[in-house]
Chains A and B, each alone.
Chain A
Amino acid sequence: MPGVKAELPVIETNQAEQLEYLMRRFGTQVMQLAYFYLKDRHQAEDLAQEVFLKVYLNMDKFRGDSSYYTWIYRITVNLCRDRHRAWSFRNLFPVKDIGSRVIGIETIESRVLKQLEADEIMAEVLCLPIKYREVIVLHYYHDLTTPEIARVTALTEENVRVRLHRGRILLKQRLEKRGEAGGGPRT
């Protein structure tokens, strides 16, 4: 995200004001990052609120060893991974696939998803296995460097590089297959 890495001003206000500042500063990025994991707008909104509640509850433990955005991104990534692992989430009816068709309502989300799916490469990124998707998204869509991704995801830099490499290979294969098959056998 442009500007994310800019130095934050020293916050010497009360915790509620700090929280408000951080939500205004990072709320949308956190929500959009969560969307890449969960592929569900409502889940992403819910998770973003959970992230900032956790930020608030742990604000006194933040020692400034990392920047705010690294800290908040790490919380987001951890919560997203937990949510994604949860059996209940994996088995949710994917609104992306048939929700809008069954209900027949043109929601903002369905319009957004149509646009997203129209973007071939975005659709393929969203279909990548989560361990590759997260590094690709953090690198290409949130502009994080390899060391920053390593801090956020608690991986080694080497591991991040390997996942980025393998993710790109998978993406290429999927895009080439899509080109050959004209869309693939299943959505």
Chain B
Amino acid sequence: MEDHELERRLRDSRQTFAKHELKEWTFTALMRTEVHNRAAAPGRDAFWQWSRTLRGAFAALVVGLVVIGLARIGQIAPNPASATTVQQDEVDMDGSAPFELVRLLRVYPEEGNEAAYVTTVWGGVANEQLIYNQVLAAGSQPMSLQALALLGSPKQMVMVSALGPEGGLWLDLMSYDGQKVKTYRGEGAAAVGSDDHAGPARLVSVDESQEFSSSLPTTVWVVWTRLVDGEVRFSPTSEIVMLKGESLLILGNTNIDHLPEPALLPDGVLEHQDMGFIASRPGQTMLKLVPAVYPGHSGELKVNVLLNNREELR
């Protein structure tokens, strides 16, 4: 697209905007009166704020209860304006009790439209608080929702895989640090670690909260491990090339009790962080995994960290 074409479309869009129904959405007399009332009684404003907060909390509670009610009813008939739980799981996403409740919902919009799918994460003491939701694109077909163990961390991640509208395979990995959910997204067979001939998955963060901190999305490399006859097998590779600053997640789809503890060479190329490792300086290093249940065996992942030459990644 040429620059002048974009300019034209933006200008046209502004005209469309001016003609929109938003044009009828005005700052009403009622709103002005509310401001006057608050302005006339500034001492009352603190009460107004509290009152508003309480009203908001009450409304949120009512909406929450309705949504929870809809979500907890597993087998609602597929009528318009209803939701059905496709799959749910309790996952220790933040590494502490209580576990989070992760749910994949099928939502039926207005009659005639096809169903939409929503992933929700519920936290709080009784899983009463909706902390995250993600809508899959229209036409996507979810394949699975799965909890995954992270090496070197008590936390677990959630993986949602889906067939996109164009038939491609999509993967969302979600982590939760107790305050916010981060989502990493990838495309293709490599993303689910199912193809031994494919490269390791390189996923891009889609976390909106990074909008203020950086225009560059965070990328992570995801390497999978399996225990085969006591040996740790990295899937689909035993060597990985990263850029400085990128993160590395080691995911295990084995029993969590069998997860090996990672050991790093003391060279500072990789540094352990909350959910995995970060490439902190250029160089080569080795990540060694020794399974607790098979101490005589191990697995090694060679990591080559580059400064910033993206071309060398290939």
**A-to-B contact residues, CB < 8 Å:** 15-16, 19-20, 23-24, 27-28, 30-32, 35, 41, 45, 48-49, 52-53, 56-57, 85, 87, 90-91, 93-94, 97-98, 100-104, 106, 108, 111-112, 115-116, 119, 121-122, 125, 129-132, 136, 140-141, 166, 168, 171-172, 175-176, 181-187
Interface contact B35-A52, CB-CB below 8 Å: yes
Q: Which of B27, B66, B137, B211 contacts A28 (CB 8 A)?
A: B27
Q: Which of B42, B107, B211 contacts A130 (CB 8 A)?
A: B211
What is the chain B residue whose CB lies nearest that of A35? B22
Chain B interface helix/strand/loop/mixed: mixed
Interface class of chain A by DSSP: helix
Contact segment of B3-11, B91-99, B194-202, B263-271: B3-11
Query: Which residue from A23, A140, A175, A176 sits with its C-beta under 8 Å from B32?
Result: A23
B47 at the interface (CB under 8 A from A): no
- Complex: A101 Cα to B79 Cα, angstroms: 11
- Within the assembled complex, what's the spacing in Å between the Cα atoms of A27 and B109? 34
A-facing residues in B1-59 (Cβ within 8 Å): 1, 3, 6, 9-14, 16-17, 20-22, 25-27, 31-32, 34-36, 38-40, 42, 45
Query: A186 vs B14: C-alpha distance in the bound complex, in angstroms?
Result: 25
Pair A101/B81 contact, Cβ less than 8 Å? yes
Given contacts A48-B27, A53-B35, contact A16 B81 (CB under 8 A): no
Beta-carbon contact of A93 and B135 below 8 Å = no
B11, B16, B133, B165: the one within 8 Å of A98 (CB): B133
Considering only CB atoms, which chain A residue lies closest to B121 in the complex? A91
- State whether B22 touches A112 (Cβ < 8 A): yes
In the complex, what residue of chain B is closest to A180 when comparing beta carbons? Answer: B166
Which residues of A have CB within 8 Å of B31?
A: 23, 27, 45, 48-49
Report which of A56, A112, A129, A172 forms a contact with B20, defined as CB distance below 8 A.
Answer: A112
CB–CB A129/B180 < 8 A: no
A116 contacts across to B, CB distance below 8 A:
20, 22
Q: How many Å lie between the Cα of A93 and that of B120 in the bound state?
A: 10
Contact A41 B215 (CB under 8 A): no
- Residues facing A in B126-149 (CB within 8 A) are 130-138, 140
Q: Are B180 and A87 in contact (CB under 8 A)?
A: yes
B70 adjacent to A102 (CB under 8 Å): yes
Given contacts A119-B16, A175-B1, contact A93 B133 (CB under 8 A): yes
Known contacts A101-B110, A122-B16, A131-B212: A183-B137 contact under CB 8 Å: yes
Is B312 part of the binding interface, using a Cβ–Cβ cutoff of 8 Å?
A: no
Task: Judge if B78 is at the interface, Cβ distance under 8 Å.
Answer: no
From known contacts A115-B20, A183-B138, infer whether A121 and B109 are also in contact, taking CB-CB under 8 Å. Answer: no
User: Are the CB atoms of A56 and B187 closer together than 8 Å?
Assistant: no
**By the criterion CB–CB under 8 Å, are A57 and B42 in contact?**
yes
Q: What CA separation (Å) do A140 and B38 show in the bound complex? A: 33
Instruction: Establish whether residues A41 and B40, one from each chain, have CB atoms under 8 Å apart when the complex forms.
Output: no
Give the chain A neighbours of B179 by CB distance below 8 A: 87
Give Cα A14 to B189, complex, Å: 68
Contact with A along B149-166 (1 / 0, CB 8 A): 000000000000000111
Query: Is there contact, CB below 8 Å, between A56 and B70?
Result: no
